[in-house]
Amino acid sequence: MVSRLGILTYVALAVRNLIRNRRRTTITLLTMMFGIATLTLLSALNDGWLSQMKTNFILSFTGHLQIHAKGFEASQNLRDNIADPDAISRYMDTYPEIIGWTQRIRTSGLASVSGSSTGVQIMATDPEQETWVTSMDQNVKTGVWLRPGMNKDLLLGKTVAQNLGAKLSDRVILMTQRPSGEMISEVYYLRGIIETGAPQIDRTLALISLDGAQQWLQMQQAVTDIVIRADHHDQTDTLYRLFVQQLSEQVYEIMPWQELDPMVRQWLEFSDAYGLIILFVVILLVLTEILNTMLISLHERQKELGVMIAIGTQPHRIFLMLLFEAVLLIFVGAVLGYLIALLVVMLLADGGIDLTDYANAFEFFYMDPVIHPQLTRDSALKILLATLVAALLAGIYPAWKATRLSVSQALRIQ
């Protein structure tokens, strides 16, 4: 005998059962909403903060992708240079994912001002091109950015300048080695002081213009780095693959930003793990709450369920009814919670959460004192999936228990 009592009847029964216990349903829904809203918000904060950190990191120095002569990152030796950068730069206009690129020479050296000296990372770049890739020009806190054609201009990281006691217009002597190994030194004039917020940069940077450096080091057109900025973080992989296809790996090394600073990568991975832990904890709470509600409800309704089975309801229909109840609770709660979080995120999106008062703790490591929460599709999917799994787990167990109900025993309950 096929029963026509369709699924809708059991959805209706489930809804009415939820409404019957209005207070309990409300409390459970509130818990659900709160849980899911918190989860969504935390993950939006985490995502916003991570994305800002990536941006800051990429903008402060590294770019999304760097191309070097093979072995340069390990040797840091000027002899491992790209002699003909034009062979590479002709690709730059053909990929729309690239919004900026620049050429640099990086080498270590010594800076001295009237007797005191300190080790520096000498970086030479094109004053114009660099502004398309990083925000170093905006990080000039005193003085001016490199001026095109002014080959004696020097900018120092804030800490370097402090250590040397150097002030604007001071004569600074830079000393380093040519690719041939010959030691050379030259007088520069301090025109600006850069503060990126990243200590490893502020402590070592000595910035000069590329043209002058190429003459000084006798490197003709050669550079050590070609630095590329993508339109969006996600495009890094695409660009990486494109360049790997185009350029011989015998001659070049192509490095995405994650490889250029393992510290940052570890930090980001840790933050991802942290996001997963939050997800896990909130889901666990929600699951326990729903499980608890459903089990209490099951206990209260034993007699009624016994009667339903006694008059001919097949146990699998009882199973469906109870499962619907749990899934409905979780679904409605999750949607409401998500909407609340969405609203909060929208309200905060422009202003962000300002942590300037606590900013000292945030200053290192490319963090911004103002966090802009961000709801990404990835984390929305993660949350959705996790609640779904939780709903099924929390729904299936009580529903299954109901099908194992001893009818005769349930009927003895008065």
Q: Which stretch binds other proteins (CB under 8 A): 13-21, 183-191, 229-237, 393-401?
A: 13-21
DSSP 59: I
Residue number, 286 or 399, with CB nearest to other proteins = 399
φ/ψ region of 84 (left if φ > 0, alpha if ψ in -120 to 50, else beta) reads beta
Instruction: Please tell me whether residue 20 binds other proteins under the rule CB under 8 A.
Output: yes
Q: How far is the CB of 308 from other proteins (least distance, A)?
A: 6
Q: Which helix (H) or strand (E) holds 205?
A: strand 205-209
CA gap 136, 139 in Å, rounded: 5
Query: Which of the residues 302 through 321 are near other proteins (CB under 8 A)?
Result: 303-304, 307-315
- Encoded one letter per residue, x for contact with other proteins by CB under 8 A and - for no contact, window 149-188 reads ----------------------------------------
Cβ atoms 111, 206 nearer than 8 A: yes
Query: Residue 344, interface with other proteins (CB under 8 A)?
Result: no
Question: Which of residues 104 and 301 has its CB atom nearest to other proteins in the complex?
Answer: 301
Count of alpha carbons within 13 angstroms of residue 17, beta-carbon side? 24
Stretch that binds other proteins, among 2-10, 186-194, 348-356, 371-379 (CB under 8 A): 2-10
Nearer to other proteins, 24 or 178 (CB): 24
Give least dist CB 401 to other proteins, A.
16
- Other beta carbons within 10 angstroms of residue 178's beta carbon come to 15
d(CA 224, CA 246): 19
Only one of the segments 17-25, 127-135, 191-199, 231-239 lies at the binding site for other proteins (rule: CB under 8 A); that segment is 17-25
By rule CB under 8 A, what count of residues binds other proteins?
A: 27
5 binds other proteins (CB under 8 A): yes
Q: What are phi and psi of 124, to 5 degrees?
A: -115, 130
What is the C-alpha to C-alpha distance for residues 51 and 57, in angstroms, rounded to an integer?
10
Minimal distance, residue 399 CB to other proteins, in Å: 17
Exactly one of 13, 32, 65, 255 binds other proteins (CB under 8 A); which one?
A: 13
Residue 23 in the binding site for other proteins (CB under 8 A): no
Residue with tokens 């599709």: 377
Look at strands 65-69 and 116-125 and give their pairing.
Answer: unpaired
Half-sphere exposure in the Cβ direction for 272 (13 Å, CA): 9
What is the token pair recorded at 189? 């004039």
CB burial of 142-176 (b: ≥16 within 10 Å; e: otherwise) equals ebebbeeeebebbbbbbbbbebbebeeebebebeb
Structure tokens that stand for 38 in this block: 């918190």
| Residue 141 makes contact with other proteins by CB under 8 A | no
Q: Is 111 exposed, middle or buried (0-12, 13-18, 19+ CB in 10 A)?
A: buried
404 touches other proteins (CB under 8 A): no
User: Which one-letter DSSP state was computed for residue 11?
Assistant: H
Q: Which stretch binds other proteins (CB under 8 A): 4-12, 72-80, 278-286, 339-347?
A: 4-12
Under the binding rule (CB under 8 A), the answer on residue 2 touching other proteins is yes
Select 18 or 341, whichever has its Cβ closest to other proteins: 18
In angstroms, give the least distance from the CB of 396 to other proteins: 20
**9 part of the interface to other proteins, by CB under 8 A:** yes
Report the distance separating Cα 8 and Cα 128, nearest Å: 67
- For the bound state, the minimum distance from the C-beta of residue 31 to other proteins, rounded and expressed in Å, comes to 23
Stretch that binds other proteins, among 15-23, 43-51, 195-203, 248-256 (CB under 8 A): 15-23
Sites of contact with other proteins (CB under 8 A): 1-5, 9, 13, 16-17, 19-20, 303-304, 307-315, 407-408, 411-412, 414
